[in-house]
Amino acid sequence: MTAPNIVWTRIDERLLHGQIRITWGKHTEANLILVANDDAAEGPNAAFMQAGMKASAGGEYAVRFFSIQKTIDVIHKASPKQNIFVLCNNPTDVARLVEGGVPITHCNVGNMHFHEGKRQIAKTVSVDSKDLNAFERMVERGVTCTVQNTPDQKPINVLDLAVENA
């Protein structure tokens, strides 16, 4: 069994949308977008969510919707031909994937919207203590976590931003 070919992992609260397809998908040369999200895979509105996200993919990518646990359970069965773009909507889910043995080495953070109890650390990223804990858990396991909205922007370390904007 070979390691899955994970070409990119991104946190975007919006999950799969046009920017992912147009900008990040092409930049990463992915051919499969794996939306690892319990609600999108199995939630009460999963069919509706999936339909919208599949439309956003524009037919350019294979798209899969797996729960976090299913991703952990099956990612190592991926074909070597699959260039996998893992997409989550929060850092806790990515930390769960890493802790479950999914070989993620870098986590790109795009959009984490401001909500009550969160503080803004970058233009499009707001965090709370649960988010920071998840990033710390990933970093402890060797995962680089950076904020970068588009490929032409310079990546900035998430935890450095959190300290600078405390």
Q: Encode pLDDT of 32-82 as tens digits.
A: 999 999 999 999 999 999 999 988 888 889 999 999 999 999 999 999 999
CATH class of 6-164: alpha beta
**Looking at the predicted structure, is the pLDDT value of residue 86 above 80?**
yes
**Looking at the predicted structure, is the pLDDT value of residue 116 above 90?**
yes
* 17 is known as an active-site residue: yes
Q: Of the listed 17, 27, 76, 113, which one is catalytic?
A: 17
Q: How far is CA 55 from CA 4, 31, 48, 113, in A?
A: 26, 15, 11, 23
**Looking at the predicted structure, is the pLDDT value of residue 166 above 80?**
no
Write out the two tokens for 108.
Answer: 């790109």
Domain locations along the chain = 6-164
